[in-house]
Amino acid sequence: MLKLNKRDTLLFVIVTAMVLLAPFLLNPFPQGSSMAQMFNAGYPDLMQRFVIFGILVIGFNILFGLTGYLSFGHAAFLGIGSYAAVWMFKLLSMNIIPALILSMIVAGIFSLVIGYVSLRRSGIYFSILTLAFAQMSYNLAYSVLGNPSSSYNLTNGETGLQLALNDPRILDGAAAANGALPVTKLFGLAMRDSYNLNVGGWLFTFNVGYYVAGILMLISFYISIRIFRSPFGMMLRAVKSNQQRMNYTGLNTKPYTLAAFVISGMYAGLAGGLLSSMDPLAGAERMHWTASGEIVIMAILGGVGTLIGPIVGAGFNEYFKNILSKINDGVLHQWLSFLPDGLENFIVGILHYFVGKGWHLTLGLLFMMVIIFLPGGLVEGGQRLAKMFKRKKTDDGSDSNNTPAE
């Protein structure tokens, strides 16, 4: 099916099922219980982030996973895509299709220019060049092009680019008369519309924006599988293993790496455009170097060079970021109220540093544990588990056909 081999088809079907059933999978606890308040992740904003950052890291993985070129400035393309999309909402139409197309084109052009210069070097020098370009874009967006009192205010600086009632919106015609801002939509479907399903104590939210982003992620994922399995992908892997040898055999590798760079830049642009489609505000922080670092962390967390890794890594990172930062002392006291008072206060006092504003610390520790014990990322953890169960079942220990799931 779909010109995929059996393993890839299975992988694709699993991912598809996970994306479609996410509202159920992410809300395991009934509404109103204290567990639900903290651990349920099935609300539209977070689900959208899962798949959007999934797209971003899938694209990043095409560059980093296949060619080994570590771009430290990928957040720049995310930000550029976001700005392009918001401008499209302001000028043309609230329909997300032109916005997404423009954000991919603009991000593609930027990555072509930045890639053309940066790919003249490899290794650490390439990383530094991309980092420099990203910081340059960040500063342009934050300050130079973002001053409302100047005539070239493209980004609105720290406040972020937002919609306004008096934007032209050529295709949409006159703004709604009731003075409300228009919402982003796909033809008649508003991105923020949701259908709530109440089953017993459970509340499942099916959000339009999530499914639009989810379907785009599945398409991106499929294209990424095809690239991994194509001769082009093979060429990129060859670049990773020994670029010099390839050059000596007379092959010019530059077009291949540049193509990979532009493709992954367009993936980032699409992700940025989607972020703006779900919430029409683009801020410069999206382009900051820490955001670029986060992309690298997501890729490594999940497993570099594997197909499913990026999605897992992005989901893991976003989940902990959103969940841990919302736990406060009050919640901790509520959980531990069964303990004697002194002990309760003591434990809350310690945990205090790991939740709420301390979520970076916890995420950092988790990241270190993954790197130390599972150098191949979470995917390696999954493979080890699978192997363990397989051995128990068949008890023959041979894994001749057990090539790493990519």
Q: Which residues bind another protein (CB under 8 A)?
A: 2-3, 37, 40, 43-46, 49, 142-143, 147-149, 157-160, 162-166, 178-181, 183, 186-189, 192-196, 205, 208, 211, 215, 219, 222-223, 226-227, 230-232, 279, 281, 283, 285-286, 322, 325-326, 328, 330, 356-357, 359
Give residue for tokens 């000028």.
91
Closest CB to another protein among residues 72, 204: 204
CA atoms within 13 A on the CB side of 207: 21
Least distance from another protein to the Cβ atom of residue 116, Å: 21
| Nearest of 81, 124, 110, 128 to residue 262 by alpha carbon | 110
Least distance from another protein to the Cβ atom of residue 335, Å: 15
Q: Minimal distance in Å, beta carbon 219 to another protein? A: 5
Contact between 172 and 90 (Cβ < 8 Å): no
Helix axes 309-324, 359-373, angle to 10 degrees: 150
Q: What's the min distance (Å) between Cβ of 354 and another protein?
A: 14
State residue 158 phi and psi, 5-degree precision. -70, -30
**CA distances in angstroms from 284 to 78, 104, 144, listed in the order given:** 10, 18, 12
> Closer to another protein at the Cβ: 75 or 296?
75
CB of 204 to another protein, least distance (A): 12
- Which lies closer to another protein via its Cβ, residue 123 or residue 201? 201
Q: Which is nearer to another protein, 227 or 374 (CB)?
A: 227
Shortest distance (Å) from residue 165 CB to another protein: 6
Cα Rg of the chain, angstroms: 23
At its nearest, how many Å lie between another protein and the CB of residue 218? 8
Are the CB atoms for 86 and 163 separated by under 8 Å? yes
Helical H runs in 119-207? 123-139
Q: Tell me the closest approach of the beta carbon of residue 71 to another protein, in angstroms.
A: 21
Q: Smaller CB distance to another protein: residue 92 or 323? A: 323
Strand partners, 204: 197
User: How far is Cα 303 from Cα 60, in angstroms, rounded to an integer?
Assistant: 12
In sequence order, which ranges of 230-305 are alpha helices (DSSP H)?
231-248, 254-278, 289-302
Q: How far is the CB of 236 from another protein (least distance, A)?
A: 11
Nearer to another protein, 189 or 385 (CB): 189
d(CA 134, CA 153): 19
Nearer to another protein, 182 or 381 (CB): 182
Backbone angles phi, psi at 280, to 5 degrees: -70, 65
**CB neighbours of 130 closer than 8 A, spacing ≥ 6?**
71, 72, 73, 74, 114, 118
Orientation angle between helical segments 96-118 and 254-278, nearest 10 degrees: 150
Nearer to another protein, 13 or 165 (CB): 165
Residue 338 CB neighbour total at 10 angstroms: 6
Shorter beta-carbon distance to another protein: residue 49 or 380: 49
For residues 171 and 95, the answer to whether their CB atoms sit within 8 Å is yes
Smallest distance, another protein to C-beta of residue 143, A: 5
Compare residues 174 and 372 and give the one whose CB is closer to another protein: 174
